[in-house]
Each structure stands twice: as C-alpha cells, then as structure tokens.
Chain A
Amino acid sequence: MSLSDTIVTIDELVAAISDGAKLAIPADYAGVSMAATRALIRKGVKDLHLVGAPTTGLQAELLIGAGCVRTLESSALTLGEYGPAPRFTKSVREGDLILVDATCPAIHAGLQASQKGIPFMPLRGILGSHILDHHPDWITLQNPFNDSEDPIVAIPAINPDFALFHAPYADKEGNVWVGRKRELINMSHASKSTLVTVEEVIDGNLFDDEKMAAGVLPALYVDKISKNTGGSWPLPFWYTGGGDDEHLKKYMQMAKSDEGFAEYLQRYVFDESTPA
C-alpha cells in the first residue's frame, strides 16, 4: 500500500465508517481518538454500534448526545471524577439506546474469540448477575470436561467493523506504536480493520528498533492513519499526560441541558478547524 493511501486527513480517516458500523473503542485511559470522534459527529454518522473495550467514557457520551449511536455495548460508561455522564443518563432514561451491558473480562473474551477465529470463549464468574439475564447473546453451558455440575458462561465472538483509537507514533509504512496498551492490539486483531490517529508520524520504520517493536501493531491490521497531535484532547493521554480539567468541567456544565449541549457541539465540534 502506498504512503498516500495510509496516511490521510481526519475526515478521510472516518470516511469509511458508515451508518450502522460496529466500532471498538478503548477506555478513556488507553488512548481515545477524540479528534476522530468529532469528525464522526461532523460527518453526521447514524446508528453506530459502539463496543467499549472494555468501558467507554466521553467519546460515547458525545456520540450518544449527538444522535450517532443506536447500540451501546460496554461494561460501563464513565466520566470518572467528573460525575454522571449527562447525555448518556438522559438517553437511558428516555429509552433512546439499545443497551448491551457486559462486564469487562467478557468484552475482552469476546474480542479474543474473534482474534482466534473461534465462535465463543467460556468465562468464569457472571452466574447470578442480572447482566446475564439481559444480555442478548450469552448462554450458560455445562463444562464438558467436568462430570459434576459446573455451569460456565459462553461469550460469543465480538467482531467489530473497525477499531478506532489514538496512539503515540506511526511510521509511513502504517505500523503503529501502542507501547504496552495491548488491549489496542487485541481490539485491532478482533476487528475487520483499524483506524488510528497518532501524535506523530516518524521517519524510518518502527521495527528498526527491537525496543519499540515489542509495542507495535503491524501495518497488516491497520487501514488508515491520521496525524493529529493532541488528538485525545480533552481527555488525558497515557503517553503525553493529563487531560484538560477546565474544559471537562465546562463540558459537565454545558451538557446539563439540551441547549447547552447543542452549544457545546457547535463551539467545539462543528466549528473546530481541522488540519487539511
């Protein structure tokens, strides 16, 4: 694949995500592409099926508020210290979302099953939790290797259309460095293709240095990359540091009302100037 095909603008990055796509997205601490999230809202995508791997936060909150989401499959949607997510809370109250509530290791297990090309993964725990009663896909099996009664939950493979996240580096070949955030590698292996925003596109090849190579997601899995320095803003980024506390507090204020949220979108999403 030639260079120009892989390294693209933010709008080109999200162009492939069409209405109804199933999107795997990381937890707020693992590198969220907020730049791509805003581009998706500007594009006006609809009916997304988000898979929080294993949880999600501001990214899903904004997409839900902007009317882009049909299904939220996750173990939680949390804004951490900032408190209850206002748009998510409203959406649940009004029954606007299809909720597929899971538990963190089950999301990991479903993605792992997809990575391995197998139909399901068995998982301990969960029995007696009401999430098992409500989940549309999980079933309880008898452990076939145990003669005694031993129920175990079967988690079907989760095969998203895209994994979408923010990472520190890519090279021009399309390799992406994620360090020890291996859940990003799992997400990508499990998904049909992967879209990444990065802080920096480096010269040379990430495999040239064995110390870096251990944390590389190979270009084989990566469809498109867009350079967006600070692309996780306003969330913190594990590689570069803290989030924009003042902005997040402002979000919580504005998102309390429909009007305030609409103004937030106008000011910080629709009017955002993006690098060409």
Chain B
Amino acid sequence: MSLSDEKKALICLIAGLLRDCNHVAVGAASPIPGAGALLAKAAWGAPRHVNILGSVTNNFFTGGGGELFDCAAQGRIDAFFLGGGQIDGEANINLMGRGDYPLSQPRWPGTFGSAYLYFLVPKVILFREEHSRRTLVDKVDFISAPGTSEDHVYRKGGPFGLLTSKGLFHFKKDRKRFSLISVHPSSSLEDILDNTGFDFDYSVDVPVTNRPDPVLLQLLDQKVQSKIAEVYPNFTETIFANTG
C-alpha cells in the first residue's frame, strides 16, 4: 500500500464510523475526517448533514461562527473529530504545546473548540495519524480538553475512540482506558505496543482492519476529491496525485 492508499483507507474507515449519524461537523485542519464525512454522505446519504468548517459550499450554517457550538450544546451534532499533538491513555488531549505552558516548546496552534465540543458531542473521534510515543503519551503536558469528568460535571459527550495510522481503539469510559479494536494491514500488535506511550487493553488475536471497499474508493476519487479540494488544496494534490 502506498502512503496515499493508506490515507484513502483511513478516509473509508472514518466514513464507516459515521453511518449512524445524522449531523457530522468537521473542524480545522482535518482533511481526512472531512473527506470521510463527505464520503459517507455520498455513499449512504448518512450522515444526512455534513458541515466542513472553512468551506463555503459544504457549510450550511447561517448563524455565524458560533452556530456550530450552539448546535453542539443542544445535542444537534452527533459526531466531531479532535486531534492533538499529544493524546494520553485517559483520552486527555493537548493541542497547546509540549513542555510547560506558557513557554511551550514547541507551541501548537491552540485549543480551538475542543474544551467545549469534547463535553457536548456524543461521538468524538480522536484522529491522529502519527502513532508514536511522541504523540500517544502516558500523560499529556497540558490538558486542552479532559477525556473524562467527575459525575457532577455536565457532560453529554466524549471520546468514542482513537484512530491512527496503525490501528483503531475504542475508549472505555468506565475504565478510563483505550481498548484496541483492530490493527491496520501495514502494522502489527507488536508494532502498536512498541509505539504507544500509554497502557491499553488488547487481545493477542486482535483482528486486522478490513481493507476498504472498492466501491467506496471509487466514489472517493469520483465524487469527494473535488469537494475536499476546496478547503484542502495541498492535501488533495498529495493524495490524489496519481488518480487524474
């Protein structure tokens, strides 16, 4: 599998995770999740509504930048994607920077809407391509948004799971732990154990992630590529370079 094939496989996998949703919103710097959401809509008409932040043609909000957050607070967004420079074993995420705040080294862009949406969107999918001990750490240096909260804290949403370039984990809220669901064909359980900085639950016979459905791949090239290019021209150029 080439790098762009691997990225396309992630897009197809994400599409499959969104079939049970009505409204999926996708935030900043998220070309793969954005493509996944648009692909699911193109393939199954589910999710019915997809909003890509930064897009003009694939954004139906008319209430300004705050509408996304109001929508989430009312339970009108079913799934959202968050990432982070660091993610730890309790699903805390750090979008701020490595080291001691405020003199972060390096400093990353900042927390965006994560400190809010993580509490209010039922199915938050953590997506971080780089699967290494640098990104998947035992404890984040800065909590932009916590993975879990105490019982008295108003919280309608939280982490559904974590998708990386090596595998898919579910998050078990009651255990405050990730559990490995499948390993991508380019990786192995050993590889994942070597490159994950936190402890997680797994079975020694954990399955291999299904290869993407050729029908989905075809739809991705034909219908979704041009839509995602509007917001992510450089990304699109990279992964669709050889598909004409």
Interface residue ranges, A against B (CB under 8 Å): 27, 29-30, 53-55, 74-78, 80-81, 84-85, 88-89, 92-93, 95, 99, 101-106, 108-109, 112, 123-132, 134, 148-152, 180-186, 238, 242, 245
Is there an interface contact between B144 and A129, defined as CB atoms closer than 8 Å? yes
Q: Could you mark each residue 56-71 of chain B with 1 if its beta carbon is under 8 Å from any beta carbon of chain A, else 0? A: 1000011111110100
**Within 8 Å of chain A (Cβ to Cβ): is B234?**
yes
Q: Could you mark each residue 72-99 of chain B with 1 if its beta carbon is under 8 Å from any beta carbon of chain A, else 0? A: 0100000000000000000000011100
Known: A81-B29, A134-B101. Contact between A128 and B146, CB under 8 A? Answer: yes
Known: A124-B116, A128-B146, A151-B152. Contact between A245 and B233, CB under 8 A? Answer: yes
Is there an interface contact between B101 and A183, defined as CB atoms closer than 8 Å? no
**Nearest A residue (CB) for B118:** A125
Q: Smallest CB–CB gap between B93 and chain A, Å?
A: 10
Is there an interface contact between A30 and B29, defined as CB atoms closer than 8 Å? no
Q: Which residues of B contact A148 (CB under 8 A)?
A: 152
CA distance A182 to B62 in the complex (A): 7
Is there an interface contact between B112 and A125, defined as CB atoms closer than 8 Å? no
Taking CB atoms and an 8 Å cut-off, the chain B residues in 38-62 that contact chain A are 53-54, 56, 61-62
Taking CB atoms and an 8 Å cut-off, the chain B residues in 106-158 that contact chain A are 106-120, 142-146, 149, 152-154
Is there an interface contact between A76 and B65, defined as CB atoms closer than 8 Å? no
Known: A55-B110, A151-B152, A186-B64. Contact between A80 and B103, CB under 8 A? Answer: no
Q: Which residues of B contact A78 (CB under 8 A)?
A: 28-29, 109-110
CA distance A101 to B114 in the complex (A): 12
Q: Which residues of A contact B96 (CB under 8 A)?
A: 101, 130-131
Is there an interface contact between A130 and B107, defined as CB atoms closer than 8 Å? no
Q: Which residues of B contact A29 (CB under 8 A)?
A: 53-54
Is there an interface contact between B69 and A104, defined as CB atoms closer than 8 Å? yes
Is there an interface contact between A126 and B28, defined as CB atoms closer than 8 Å? no
Known: A81-B232, A106-B116, A134-B102. Contact between A129 and B111, CB under 8 A? Answer: yes
Q: Smallest CB–CB gap between A100 and chain B, Å?
A: 10
Q: Smallest CB–CB gap between B109 and chain A, Å?
A: 4
Is there an interface contact between A103 and B114, defined as CB atoms closer than 8 Å? yes
Known: A102-B111, A131-B115, A183-B65. Contact between A93 and B29, CB under 8 A? Answer: no
CA distance A184 to B66 in the complex (A): 11
Interface residue ranges, B against A (CB under 8 Å): 28-29, 53-54, 56, 61-67, 69, 73, 95-97, 101-120, 142-146, 149, 152-154, 232-235
Is there an interface contact between A104 and B63, defined as CB atoms closer than 8 Å? no
CA distance A81 to B109 in the complex (A): 12
**Nearest A residue (CB) for B144:** A129
Is there an interface contact between A129 and B143, defined as CB atoms closer than 8 Å? yes
CA distance A109 to B153 in the complex (A): 20
CA distance A105 to B104 in the complex (A): 23
Is there an interface contact between A125 and B107, defined as CB atoms closer than 8 Å? no
Is there an interface contact between B232 and A126, defined as CB atoms closer than 8 Å? no
CA distance A132 to B154 in the complex (A): 16
Q: Which residues of B contact A80 (CB under 8 A)?
A: 28-29, 54
**Nearest B residue (CB) for A85:** B109
Q: Smallest CB–CB gap between A254 and chain B, Å?
A: 18
Q: Which residues of A contact B145 (CB under 8 A)?
A: 128-129
Q: Which residues of B contact A151 (CB under 8 A)?
A: 152-153
Q: Smallest CB–CB gap between B132 and chain A, Å?
A: 18
Is there an interface contact between A104 and B144, defined as CB atoms closer than 8 Å? no
Q: Which residues of B contact A238 (CB under 8 A)?
A: 56
Q: Which residues of A contact B144 (CB under 8 A)?
A: 129-131
Is there an interface contact between B65 and A104, defined as CB atoms closer than 8 Å? yes
Q: Smallest CB–CB gap between A46 and chain B, Å?
A: 21
Cβ-neighbour of B62 out of A89, A149, A180 (below 8 A) = A180
Q: Which residues of B contact A75 (CB under 8 A)?
A: 110-113
Known: A84-B108, A92-B107, A101-B110. Contact between A128 and B66, CB under 8 A? Answer: no
CA distance A81 to B54 in the complex (A): 12
CA distance A128 to B149 in the complex (A): 7
Cβ-neighbour of B110 out of A77, A126, A149, A181 (below 8 A) = A77
Is there an interface contact between A104 and B146, defined as CB atoms closer than 8 Å? no
